[in-house]
Amino acid sequence: MKLLSKVTVGLFTAALLFVGCGNDAKPTSQETVKPTISEESLGLRKTNLYAEEAETIGHQANYSTAVAGSGNMIKRAFQDAPPMIPHDIEGMLIITINDNQCTTCHMPEVAESMGATPLPSSHFTDFRPATSVNNEGRLTKNGKAIVNTTNVNMDDISIKSTGSHLAGSRFNCTLCHAPQSGDDLAVQNNFEPDFTNKDGASASSWSGTKLMEGLDTINGI
């Protein structure tokens, strides 16, 4: 009986060893020929990203040195796209809520006389609902308790005019507006905008009426 047990254990061990050796078998030719993708092929420049050479670093940005008010203008990329800054902004940054030199020329009441693009009505509109937590610990927006951060009744949306004051969320102009470098693109841009307004390349279509299209929400406009 003991001899039979030893033979059984021996056969079982041999089977395990055989299976283990089988796992080390060479893969088929299909498995060994796997295409490799180099890091260089993933980038636009197709160069060694670890070598700080001119072709990898690229060209130095060539921003406009035109003074503000020179009348230069860059066409918008699409309808209501934030306009690019066509003039030099040296000395105008950093923008703070209490120090914003952009408003010197771009406020609607002075923009025309300064030859600047006027700020649209969207910049004088507060889209942020009054948000707080009530005594029951529930999130409230515009005085209404809501289960999630939004709901189908749009209680989380509000459109309130700030009058002649720039909305707090709009004071930092360079969050959306930036200078445009004059260098050639590494990749050609074939995008062609389809403006919904005839003057869409140079003017915003935002208005108090348009801001509320299709919205049934609190507003003060």
Q: CA 80 to CA 196: how far, in whole Å?
A: 9
The Cα–Cα gap between 123 and 30 comes to 61
What is the Cα–Cα distance from 81 to 190, expressed in whole angstroms?
Answer: 17
Going edge to edge, which strands form the sheet with 125-126?
125-126, 158-161, 218-219
- DSSP annotation of 109 reads H
Burial class (CB in 10 A: 0-12, 13-18, 19+), 31: exposed
* % helix, strand, coil for the chain, step of 5: 25, 10, 65
State pLDDT tens for residues 32-84: 667 788 777 777 767 777 777 777 766 678 899 999 988 888 999 999 999 99
Model pLDDT, residue 148: 72
Longest distance between any two alpha carbons in the chain, whole Å:
110
Q: What does pLDDT average to in each consecutive run of 10 residues of the chain (221 residues)?
A: 48 50 53 72 74 71 89 90 94 93 95 91 87 88 77 71 91 94 76 90 80 62 55
Task: Record the tokens describing residue 49, joined without a space.
Answer: 């990203």
SS3 of residue 192 by DSSP: coil
| Predicted local distance difference test score (pLDDT) of residue 108 | 94
pLDDT at 166: 93
Residue 32 CB burial class (10 angstroms; 0-12, 13-18, ≥19): exposed
CATH number belonging to the domain at 64-183+197-221, selected among 1.10.760.10, 3.40.140.10, 1.10.1130.10, 3.30.530.20: 1.10.1130.10
Give the DSSP letter string of 11-65: HHHHHHHHHHHHHTSPPPHHHH------HHHHSSS-S-TTS--HHHH-PPP----
**SS3 per-residue string spanning 82-96:** CCCECCCCCCCCCCE
User: What is the model's pLDDT at position 3?
Assistant: 45
Residue with tokens 């279509």: 205
